[in-house]
Amino acid sequence: MMSSKIPVSSRISPLISAIAYPLGNQVILPYYFSQIRVIGQENIPKTGPVILAPTHRSRWDALIVAHTTGKTVTGRYLRFMVSDSEMRGVQGWFIRRLGGFPVDTHAHHRKLASLDHTVNLLHQGEMVVIFPEGDIFREAGIQPIKRGVAMVALQAQAEREARGCDRPVQIVPVSLQYSEKIPRRGSQVTVKIGEAIAVNQYPQLSMKRASKQLTQDVATALAGLVS
């Protein structure tokens, strides 16, 4: 019988991160993209639990998010919720040591363990990247937002309040827009970072109503950035 508690873990390797961030920021991204334009970088909280909620348009998204919001910008390493299929082999080995952890949306127990791990990271004051649309979408406009982002944020906020933590969980919407539907060398990227949404403003609602409202607010914020 499968256990309901399947451990999920992640960590930051100082050595690998010290190599990967400069390599991506100074070599890989400048070589591939002709311009990376960033708007709203001042909206990223420098401390406290944060969920970055970017649109998902390309396999380059994680590198772009790390480049524009990560260690060299905020002094903070990012933790990434990554599809289970991306966490295999050598690639998975590196992703785990750069703060990535797997989520399998088709396996209920694995998904619950990933959500628990995310809540724990937020309670520790980490900055976690979750793509709220789920898969990569090439179409313009915002795709339906998964409610899981709101549920994780609300659960983490409730736990922090129960333990007397003052600083709220915040969700930061991020729009990634490429000059080409499928980015190629020489493409341009525009990154728009919206104002943080404080999760502690939803306490008077039930969890179901709060998650629905928060999900709608994240979708509205992302749509505003895209438009």
pLDDT at 216: 96
Q: Can you tell me the distance from the alpha carbon of 7 to that of 216, in angstroms, rounded to the nearest whole number?
A: 31
CB atoms near residue 163 (< 10 Å): 8
Distances from the Cα of 22 to the Cα of 17, 67, 78, 94, 99, angstroms: 9, 9, 15, 15, 16
Is 3 a residue whose pLDDT tops 50?
A: no
What whole-number distance in Å separates Cα of residue 101 and Cα of residue 97?
Answer: 9
H-type helices in the chain, by residue range? 14-23, 29-32, 61-69, 71-74, 89-97, 108-123, 148-162, 207-226
Token pair belonging to 84:
């289970």
pLDDT at 227: 75
Each residue of 13-23: pLDDT tens digit?
Answer: 999 999 999 99
How many angstroms separate the CA atoms of 131 and 78, rounded? Answer: 13
**pTM exceeds 0.75 for this model:** yes
Q: Map out the domains of the chain with their CATH numbers.
A: 14-226 (3.40.1130.10)
Checking if the pLDDT of 170 tops 70, the result is yes
List 52's β-bridge partners, or say none: 129, 172
Whole-angstrom distance, CA of residue 11 vs CA of residue 46: 20
Q: How large is the average pLDDT for residues 183-209?
A: 92
Confidence of residue 26 (pLDDT cuts 50, 70, 90): very high
Tokens 């992302």 sit on residue: 222
Instruction: Say whether 38 sits in a helix, a strand or coil.
Output: strand
